[in-house]
C-alpha cells in the first residue's frame, strides 16, 4: 500500500488539516467485517512515528508482526534506531518512558481491538467495561491520545455488544465509522463529534456533522474522494 494523505481534519492548522490527534483526545473507530478499518489505524500509527511521537500499541487481534509489516510498506522500519524506542506495548511501557521525556511529546495509545475481549469472554457488560479501563496506562504522567477499535457487527443482534457500544459512544470525543459501499474495498468514512467532547477540554477539534469521505482500497493504493465527486462511487 502506498503512502497516502488522510482526508479528514481533526485539528486547525495552516494547511487546514493535521495528521495527529491532539493530546487528551480520544477517538472510537467503529468498523465491520465488510468495512475493516486497519488502514485508518495504520495512518495514525505511521503519522505518529514520522513525527517522532511515542506510540503504545495494545494488539489484541492481529498476529505478531502484523503492524510491523504494514509499517515497512509505508517506508518505516520499526526496529531501526530511528523508531525502535518510539513504538512499544503495554507490557514494555517502562522502555518508552525515557523517549516520552526526551521527545516531550504526548504518547498515542492504540487499542486494537475491544471486540476481541468481548467475544472471547462470557462476562457481563459491566465487568467488561471495567476491564477496558484497566488497559489504559495509568502510570503515564502526561496526557495521551487514545484510539480504540470496536467492531459493530453484532450491535443490532447482541444485547451485550449493544450495551458496551452505548457506553463507549458516550465517552469518546470523536467517533469515526467505516461503512461499506458496493464492491470490495470501497466505503465511506463518517466522522462525528462524540458526547465525550467537552468544551472545557480546550481541544482544537474541527468537525462537521456532514463530513463524509469515500475511499477505495486496491492491492497497491488507497484513494479518498469527497462524497459525490467521484462517479465510480455513486
pLDDT at 11 over 60: no
Confidence (pTM): 0.80
Give the domain extent around 41. Answer: 26-233
pLDDT at 75 over 50: yes
Tell me the mean pLDDT in the region 206-217. 65
Whether 186 maps to a domain, the answer reads: yes
- d(Cα 184, Cα 96) in Å, to the nearest integer? 38
Whether 4 maps to a domain, the answer reads: no
DSSP one-letter string for the chain = ----------B--TTS--SSPPTT-EEEEEEBTTB--HHHHHHHHHHHHHTT--EEEEESSS-TTHHHHHHHHTT--TTSTTTTTTEE-GGGHHHHHHHHHHHT---EEEEE-HHHHHHT----HHHHHHHHHHHS-TT--S--EEEEEEE-TTTTT-HHHHHHHHHHHTT-SEEEEEEE-SSTTEEEEEEEE-TT--GGG---B---TT-EEEEEE-SS-EEEEETTS-GGG-
**Percent with pLDDT over 90 in the chain:** 4
Whether 13 maps to a domain, the answer reads: no
Whether 8 maps to a domain, the answer reads: no
Q: What is the mean pLDDT of the chain?
A: 75
Of 12-16, 182-186, 203-207, the one with minimum mean pLDDT is: 12-16
- d(Cα 17, Cα 45) in Å, to the nearest integer? 17
Whether 191 maps to a domain, the answer reads: yes
More reliable by pLDDT, 177 or 134: 177
Whether 107 maps to a domain, the answer reads: yes
Supply the CATH number for residue 69's domain.
3.40.50.300
Whether 202 maps to a domain, the answer reads: yes
Q: Which of 188, 143, 150 is nearest to 169 (CA)?
A: 150
Please state the separation of Cα 104 from the chain's center in Å.
Answer: 22
pLDDT for 127: 87
| Count of structural domains within the chain | 1
In the structure, what pLDDT confidence band is assigned to residue 1 with cuts at 50, 70 and 90? very low
Amino acid at each position: 500500500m502506498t503512502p497516502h494523505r488522510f482526508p479528514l481534519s481533526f485539528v486547525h492548522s495552516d494547511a487546514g488539516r493535521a495528521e495527529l490527534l491532539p493530546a487528551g483526545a480520544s477517538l472510537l473507530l467503529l468498523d465491520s467485517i465488510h468495512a475493516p478499518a486497519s488502514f485508518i489505524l495504520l495512518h495514525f500509527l505511521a503519522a505518529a512515528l514520522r513525527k517522532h511521537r511515542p506510540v503504545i500499541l495494545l494488539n489484541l487481534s492481529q498476529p505478531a508482526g502484523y503492524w510491523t509489516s504494514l509499517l515497512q510498506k509505508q517506508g518505516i522500519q520499526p526496529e531501526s534506531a530511528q523508531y525502535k524506542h518510539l513504538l512499544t506495548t503495554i507490557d514494555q511501557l517502562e522502555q518508552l518512558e525515557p523517549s516520552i521525556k526526551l521527545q516531550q511529546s504526548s504518547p498515542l495509545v492504540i487499542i486494537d481491538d475491544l471486540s476481541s475481549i468481548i467475544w472471547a469472554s462470557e462476562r457481563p457488560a459491566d465487568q467488561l467495561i471495567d476491564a477496558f479501563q484497566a488497559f489504559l496506562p495509568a502510570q503515564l504522567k502526561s496526557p495521551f491520545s487514545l484510539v480504540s477499535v470496536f467492531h459493530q457487527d453484532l450491535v443490532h443482534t447482541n444485547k451485550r455488544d449493544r450495551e458496551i457500544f452505548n457506553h463507549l459512544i458516550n465517552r469518546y470525543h470523536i467517533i469515526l465509522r467505516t461503512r461499506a459501499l458496493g464492491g470490495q474495498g470501497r466505503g465511506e468514512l463518517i466522522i462525528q463529534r462524540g458526547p465525550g467532547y467537552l468544551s472545557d477540554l480546550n481541544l482544537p477539534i474541527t468537525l462537521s456533522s456532514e463530513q463524509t469521505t469515500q475511499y477505495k482500497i486496491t492491492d497497491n493504493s488507497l484513494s479518498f474522494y469527497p462524497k459525490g465527486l467521484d462517479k465510480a462511487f455513486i
